[in-house]
Amino acid sequence: MTLILVIYMLCIGKSFKLILVRHGISKWNAQNVYTGWYNIGLTDTGIEKSSYLGSYLNQLGYHPEIIYTSKQIRAIHTSKVIREKLPNKHIPIISNWRLNERHYGMLTGLDKDKYPFASRYYEIPPKIKRNYNDPILKMIPSYSADEYLNNIKYGESLYDVHKRFIPYFYNTIIPFNKDMLIVSHKNTLKTLVKHIEHISDEDDDIIDIDNSSPIIYDVCYISGELQINRIK
């Protein structure tokens, strides 16, 4: 108890809030389809809940000064809807493909019930037989990640997502050093929560990332060491 109290006191005046949000419910979420890097919009419910979330953050007194998000429409739209409910409606939104959802390769656009994939941490989606001229596969954007995309054309493991996102998190996002919001996707945020909370590869299925439901951390430095502690 004493140790916890000392850490809390040392963080006063030096900490900032890190808020993680999965985008609002998308049209393919509602249809139970693998989405990955495909661009799909939000449902009306997704927009409504994103707006409510912005109001909820206001009620909690959390006013992020920057929003980091992916290059995908559903995350960018969610970011803008949330921002409209914040006191500062002009805070910057920074988009980068490293925050994109996990790439599902040949599963993209297929029904999850017909093609079940309960992956482990290092497992990529199955290389099912599918026509490369399939209009859905041809419409998956590159998001200016062409070289990387060539290496993961059959999809990403959660470890692949970790490798392209976590360095960006430490090198670009955390150094902002002020209250911030990350609006991203289920598997991307799952890898971040797993990393921050030191959850094992075997136990990663316990991580629950719901649409429009915030996960909030307090971030500070103690004796020069970064501390990220979950508060909600």
Whether 6 is in a domain gets the answer: no
Q: Give the pTM.
A: 0.92
Q: Which domain holds residue 202?
A: 22-63+73-223
Closest among 231, 141, 216 to 182, alpha carbons compared: 216
The answer to whether position 116 is within a domain reads: yes
The CATH number of residue 105's host domain is 3.40.50.1240
Question: Residue 4: is its pLDDT beyond 50?
Answer: no
Q: How high is the pLDDT of residue 151? A: 92
Q: Which of 65, 77, 84, 101 is catalytic?
A: 101
Tell me whether strands 180-184 and 16-22 are parallel, antiparallel or unpaired. Answer: parallel
Is the model's pLDDT at 144 over the cut of 50?
Answer: yes
Could you confirm whether 147 is annotated as catalytic? no
> For residue 3, is it within any domain?
no
Per-residue pLDDT band at 7 (split at 50, 70, 90): very low
Q: Is the pLDDT of residue 215 over 90?
A: yes
User: What's the pLDDT at 84?
Assistant: 97
Residue pair 95/119 in contact by the 8 Å Cβ criterion:
no
Q: Is residue 232 part of a domain?
A: no
Phi and psi torsions of 144, nearest 5°? 65, 25
Is 5 within a domain?
A: no
Q: Within 104-180, where are the H helices?
A: 135-138, 146-151, 158-168
Per the annotation, the verdict on 48 as an active-site residue is no
pLDDT at position 147: 92
Per-residue model confidence (pLDDT) at position 11: 60
What local confidence, expressed as pLDDT, does residue 14 receive?
Answer: 78
- C-alpha 119/C-alpha 89 separation (Å) is 39
**What integer is the mean pLDDT of 224-229?**
92
Is the residue at 108 inside a domain? yes
Question: 2 pLDDT band (50/70/90 cuts)?
Answer: very low
Buried b (16+ CB within 10 A) or exposed e, 16-40: bbbbbbbbbbbebbeeebbbbbbeb
The pair of structure tokens assigned to 72 is 């995908």
Q: What is the mean pLDDT of the chain?
A: 92
Backbone φ and ψ for 125, nearest 5 degrees, come out as -60, 150
Query: Tens digits of per-residue pLDDT, 114-129?
Result: 999 988 999 999 999 9
For residue 229, tell me if it sits in a domain.
no
Determine the 3-state secondary structure of 181 from DSSP: strand
- Can you tell me the distance from the alpha carbon of 1 to that of 146, in angstroms, rounded to the nearest whole number? 50
Q: What is the mean pLDDT of residues 7-11?
A: 48
Measured distance CA(54)–CA(85) in Å, rounded: 5
Structurally, the chain folds into a number of domains equal to: 1
pLDDT exceeds cutoff 60 at 173: yes
Q: Is residue 85 part of a domain?
A: yes
Q: What does the pLDDT read at residue 8?
A: 44
